[in-house]
Amino acid sequence: MENRPTLLAAKKKREIGKFNKSHTKSRRHFVRDLFLKTPKYIPLFDNSYIKRYYFNMNLKFLGRGAGFNPVEGSTSAYFIDNNEMFLIDCGESIFKTVMEKKLLDSVSALNVLITHTHMDHIGSLGTLILYGSVVKKLPVKIITDKNMGFLSKLNVFLIEIAGLTEKMYSLADVSEYEGKYSSFSKVSYFKTKHCDEVESCGILFETDCGMLIYSGDLYDPAPIMEIINDCDKSTKKIDKMYIDSNNDIKPNLHHISIHILKDMLSPELKSKVYCMHVNSNQCIEEALAYGFNVVELG
């Protein structure tokens, strides 16, 4: 049996550890809050100005495969901000990956963005919400906006088919997320064309480094070209474009062909494309050869 001084020393060490942890967290939040209140351009006495530090938003991918390419996992990405997890889509393989990475073990909330209701995008959403709310006791929110034509069907799926209750998650309008996080100042959905059977959306984040576009699944690049044109006409710029990619030679009725996309973008914009939802290894090789990036799992 350990003697009393050793036990007391161990108790004290634990208490110091707890204090340091909470202290570090509050200091981090203080710095973040101060940053959010700081203007992007700080004027100096000689009429010049300096830019403050910019947060660069990067998505981490849990899977990057197309619906029929399960080897690469269902395409889904996440980031953590303010100790809250933001997850984009939750297809068949994603709950397993979230568990393996213990991603819900240390966050204080789960916010989910959904692009459409194909199973490679919502196949394990019911299980994730159930686990997040009931086991982990996290507030779970689905981030929504008016462009989500599939939202009522998603609710029916979660409540009437997946067996969830309304206490397990809530719907939160995109406006609730404006100006509150370090990674992005605003988030919104834009309508896309993917297939006749389901409505679909892409996601647009406004960040310190420019627009971050997440295409979701789509065959018609028009909404992305529209965002690019809007940026050209304003002071906004494109930071990154995560694009659903396919290497079919013949016209594809559901996804963008990289053979077509390569001719639509300038070399500068091509370097900002990150291919995801890839249908094969050959697609990855061809995308890289065209000067696109391909998302890495991480």
Residue numbers at the binding site for Zn ion (CB under 5 A): 67, 118, 120, 217
In terms of CB distance, is 69 or 144 closer to Zn ion? Answer: 69
Neighbours of 220 (CB within 10 A): 11
In terms of CB distance, is 123 or 126 closer to Zn ion? Answer: 123
Q: Cα–Cα distance between 206 and 240 in angstroms, integer?
A: 11
Look at residues 69, 76, 71, 112 and name the one whose alpha carbon lies nearest to residue 91.
Answer: 76
Q: How far is the CB of 195 from Zn ion (least distance, A)?
A: 7
Q: How far is the CB of 231 from Zn ion (least distance, A)?
A: 26
Q: How far is the CB of 19 from Zn ion (least distance, A)?
A: 47
Q: Cα–Cα distance between 20 and 161 in angstroms, integer?
A: 45
In terms of CB distance, is 116 or 208 closer to Zn ion? Answer: 116
Q: How far is the CB of 287 from Zn ion (least distance, A)?
A: 17
In terms of CB distance, is 67 or 202 closer to Zn ion? Answer: 67
Q: Cα–Cα distance between 117 and 173 in angstroms, integer?
A: 18
In terms of CB distance, is 78 or 181 closer to Zn ion? Answer: 78
In terms of CB distance, is 141 or 254 closer to Zn ion? Answer: 254
In terms of CB distance, is 118 or 272 closer to Zn ion? Answer: 118
Look at residues 77, 103, 74, 79 and name the one whose alpha carbon lies nearest to residue 91.
Answer: 74
Residues in the chain: 298
Q: How far is the CB of 209 from Zn ion (least distance, A)?
A: 27
In terms of CB distance, is 104 or 154 closer to Zn ion? Answer: 154
Q: How far is the CB of 70 from Zn ion (least distance, A)?
A: 11
Q: How far is the CB of 118 from Zn ion (least distance, A)?
A: 4
Q: How far is the CB of 240 from Zn ion (least distance, A)?
A: 19
